[in-house]
Every structure is written in C-alpha cells, then in structure tokens.
Amino acid sequence: MYIYLPIAEVSMHIGIVIGLGGGVGFLSGLFGVGGGFLMTPLLIFFGIPPAVAVATEANQIVASSVSGVLAHMRRGNVDFKMGAILMLGGVIGSSLGVVLFSFLRSIGQIDLVIKLSYVVFLGIIGALMLVESLRTMMRSRKPGAVRGKLHQHNWLHGLPFKMRFRRSKLYISAILPLAIGAFVGVLAAIMGVGGGFIMVPAMIYLLGMPTSVVVGTSLFQIIFVTANVTLLQSIQTQTVDFVLAGLLLFGAVIGAQFGSRAGAVLRGEQLRGLLALMVLAVCVKIGYDLVVRPEDLFSVELLK
C-alpha cells in the first residue's frame, strides 16, 4: 500500500516508511542515540527532497526526545539549569541554521553543505569514538590501569559569567554551554539531526559534566532545538511533513523497544565501538558520493 506524502509530494510504500522508522528506531534504542544522522540520509536516498527530509526529521526527533527524556527525568538524570542554557544557545543557533539553510537552498548549494557537514562531523566523532572504545577494550584487559582525572582546568574555565550547576557539580562560565548549544543548534538545523552525537562528547570533554546526566540533559535541550526548527521550517519553507514524521515515529517507537533490549546484552565499549563503525560507514558512503563522478553532470529541481 502506497501513501502519498502531502508535503514531500511523493508517494512511498507505507511498509518502507514504517520499516525505516523501525530499523533506525532499533539502532537508536540499541545505542541510545537519536538516529537523525541515519534517518535523514536514508530519507534523501529514498527520494524525499533534502529540505523536506531535514525539516521532517526535526519534527520526528521532537517526539523521540520527549519519550527518551521522560525516563531520564524519572531517574533525576536531567540538569535543567544546564539544559536551559544549552537550549537558549540551541534556539539561537538553530534559528540561524534555518536562515542559513534557506539561503544555501536558494543558491543551490544545500545538498553539498548537508553532505559536507555529514562527512566532517560524522568522520571526526566516529573516529574519536572508535579510538576511545578500542582503548577501553584494551585497558579492561590490563587490570590496574590508572584512570585519568575527571576533567582538567584550562583557559575555558577562566571565562566570565560563572554559574553554579548543582546537578552537574560544576561552577563554570555560562558562555561555554551557550556557545556549544548555539554551534550544535546550527548543525541540527542544517543536518536534520538532534545533535546528540556532538552534544554528548562536548558535555563530557569540554564542560566536564558527569556522564550520568549528559544523555538526559542533551535530550532535554534537543526537544526545544528541534521544536524550534520544526516551527521555523513550517513558517519559512513549508517543508515539515507530519504525515511522514508520524509514520516514521510509529515504526521508531516499536523498533527502539527491541533495540534497547538487544543493547542490554552488550557491553558499553562494545556498543560504542559498533556505533562508531556505523557512524564511519555513513560518513564514508556520503563522502564517496561527493568524490565519484555523478552519472549526469546536470540536475533539475522544480521550484515553487
């Protein structure tokens, strides 16, 4: 059974849409990630216009982040104060991102920028994760290895506007989380992702937050960033397809349940290693498409 997606203006088999949601949902449940970095390229691959894929995926991530954050809230793993600062930056950044997106689209370079962003950021994050998980695996075989300091003080801690974040046990400048939030917000708007894969390492390594609160806090701020992108894209470009988002979500909710159960049987560093390989695979695939000569040097796009 095919369904005509009213905003994307293409029809897709309903089984493919729900299957995509389920597959990506399974992986996101398994690895504890949002999955936007997989879903957006897959939607584009299946013929959804890039602008619609990016905006619709933002809409879907609102839902998956809400359901994710509720579990973390129950366990008290959300630093709301830190989340609010990150969110403020994120809303500013994603607003800029939507404007930048429209501009790049108007000059015909949005596909290129989306692809380049994927290659650069997935490449960096994937490589770092792979190295980290391999190190952990090696270290766990050598008992008695010394663990490093939780976080080191550097010039970033000398910035003004210091604030106390009780839940994260931090006393740092508000400028830092604001800037991180803004930077990830821009990427979220352009790449059609929540940005957790950059936000989480940034929270651990740049802000020095305890790992117990990073995922919950990241999800909390992603809700607002992606809600902002959904709203702004709806107003500016009318590219949010909530029929598509709803169907993907339906599949993702079910897939994530199976994924999180499957994830329970694997060790943390093994999961991170596998996630790193998957991130790198997406990076290589998109990178390959950029270097290989296209079948047709010309392409056409119907404008509104």
Partner 1 sequence: MIRQRLTSLIIAAACLMPSLVAHAGPERLVADLSNDQVAITSSYHGTELLLFGAFEGQDNDDVVLVVSGPPTKLAHRRSDKVAGIWVNVETNIWQNTPGFYHIFSTRPLAEIASPAVLAKAQLGPAALSLEYVSQAKDANSGNGHGGSNAGASNGPAKAATPAMINDLGRNMTDIGLWAERSDGVSIQRNTLFRATLYLPKNVPPGDYEVRVVHFRDGQVMSQQTTDMTVARKGFSAMVYDFAHKYSMLYGIFAVVFAVFAGWLAAVAFRRK
Tracing tokens 């939780």 back to the chain, one arrives at 150
Residue 235 binds partner 1 (CB under 8 A): yes
Residue 93: which residues within 8 A CB-CB, separation 6 or more? 181, 182, 183, 184, 185, 186, 188, 189, 225
Residue 122: which residues within 8 A CB-CB, separation 6 or more? 37, 197, 279, 280, 282, 283, 286
Residue 54 binds partner 1 (CB under 8 A): no
Residue 245 binds partner 1 (CB under 8 A): yes
Structure-block tokens of residue 252:
């993702």
Which one of 109-117, 121-129, 164-172, 267-275 is the stretch in contact with partner 1 (CB under 8 A)? 109-117
Residue 227 binds partner 1 (CB under 8 A): yes
Residues in 57-76 that interact with partner 1 by CB under 8 A: 59-60, 62-68, 70-71
Which one of 76-84, 194-202, 207-215, 237-245 is the stretch in contact with partner 1 (CB under 8 A)? 237-245
Q: Which of 72, 116, 112, 18 lies closest to 219, judged by CA?
A: 72
Residue 186 binds partner 1 (CB under 8 A): no
Residue 33 binds partner 1 (CB under 8 A): no
Residue 28 binds partner 1 (CB under 8 A): no
**Cα–Cα dist 157/152, whole Å:** 9
Tracing tokens 């389920």 back to the chain, one arrives at 22
Cα–Cα distances in angstroms (integers) from residue 25 to residues 146, 202, 252, 269, 275, in the given order: 37, 24, 4, 20, 14
Q: Are 213 and 79 in contact (CB under 8 A)?
A: yes
End-to-end CA distance of the chain: 28
Residue 231 binds partner 1 (CB under 8 A): yes
Ranges assigned E (strand) in 24-169: 162-165
- By CB under 8 A, name the one of 15, 45, 106, 135 that touches partner 1: 106
Instruction: Output 208 or 251, the one with its CB closest to partner 1.
Output: 251
Residue 288 binds partner 1 (CB under 8 A): no
* Min dist. Cβ of residue 147 to partner 1 (A): 31
Instruction: Output 7 or 87, the one with its CB closest to partner 1.
Output: 7
Instruction: Output 2 or 205, the one with its CB closest to partner 1.
Output: 2
Residue 238 binds partner 1 (CB under 8 A): yes
The SS3 assignment for 96 reads helix
Residue 19 binds partner 1 (CB under 8 A): no
Please compute, for residue 83, the number of CA atoms within 13 A of its CA located in the half-sphere on the CB side: 22
Which one of 84-92, 184-192, 275-283, 285-293 is the stretch in contact with partner 1 (CB under 8 A)? 285-293
Where does this chain bind partner 1 (CB under 8 A)?
1-4, 6-7, 9-11, 59-60, 62-68, 70-71, 103, 106-109, 111-112, 223, 227, 230-235, 238, 240, 242-243, 245-246, 249, 253, 257, 290-294, 296-304
